[in-house]
Amino acid sequence: MKILSIGNSFSQDAHRWLYDVCKSADKEIYNANIYYGGCSLVSNWDFYVNDRAEYDYEIKGVPTRKITLREALTAEKWDIITYQQASHESGKYERYKPFLCDLHKVVKEACPSAKFYIHQTWAYEIDSTHPSFVHYNSDQHYMYDCLSDAYRKAAESINADIIPAGDVIQYLRDNISEFDYKNGGYSLNQDGFHLSHGYGRYAASLTWYCKLFSGNANDVSFVPKICDDEKLVRAIKAAVNKVLSE
């Protein structure tokens, strides 16, 4: 399976352990991410219209060269293509229009056999210092509610499925005491907005595997060395299975 994400640093988070996760479940993938920091849908559209080579073309998380969107779409015969909004605009549905639909039209023309997904990103940590957090009243649950609604509408607008990484991260925060950051648990973020290198990114990669392959997280044997608590690994796998079964 060949996967292309039209993304930013949040798709970097999701892709970090994705190849290893899939391989350990006997699923071979070729995963690419075209990366531009903080890239929004409007920026993606601008880069396409002006044919600007602004993206880093990352294969299995490793940057290779600069690339345009047009080049990336024809670099391989992609089976899966994912879109996402920049985190700071993720809960503002008006910022998806018309750029997502316009982008999807040209991407679908270039890759008619691909299946399309929306990568649902996550809310910021409760004490995040990201300057855009104030647009969500500096409230994690409010941001989560906003982005959940916006991503649902976005997926419906292009008839795409959702990879619910944001749902999984929020479920872990709200239901697993070890990830209850407010009360002394681990944060699933490294800096208040990007996912933590271990458990956060692992949860996202498991979510992608289970969604793309209709898989079960318990079929995954790979665990990053940085995730050294077996109880938390089991809790993450259970959370992924629960969220994706609903």
Give 128-171 pLDDT, tens digit per residue. Answer: 999 999 999 999 999 999 999 999 999 999 999 999 999 999 99
Say if CB 239 and CB 202 are below 8 A apart.
no
Residue 25 pLDDT: 98
* Fold type of domain 2-245: Rossmann fold (3.40.50)
State the pLDDT at residue 192.
Answer: 98
- Strand-pairing partners, residue 30, are 2
Nearest CA to 177 among 85, 92, 239? 239
Coil/strand/helix, residue 189 = strand
Residue 58's pLDDT is: 97
Phi and psi angles of residue 161, each rounded to the nearest 5 degrees, phi first:
-90, 165
Residues of the chain with pLDDT under 70: none
% of the chain surpassing 70 pLDDT: 100
| Predicted local confidence at residue 61, as pLDDT | 87
CA dihedral of 82, 85, 90, 94, whole degrees rounded to 10: -110
Write the DSSP symbol of residue 112.
T
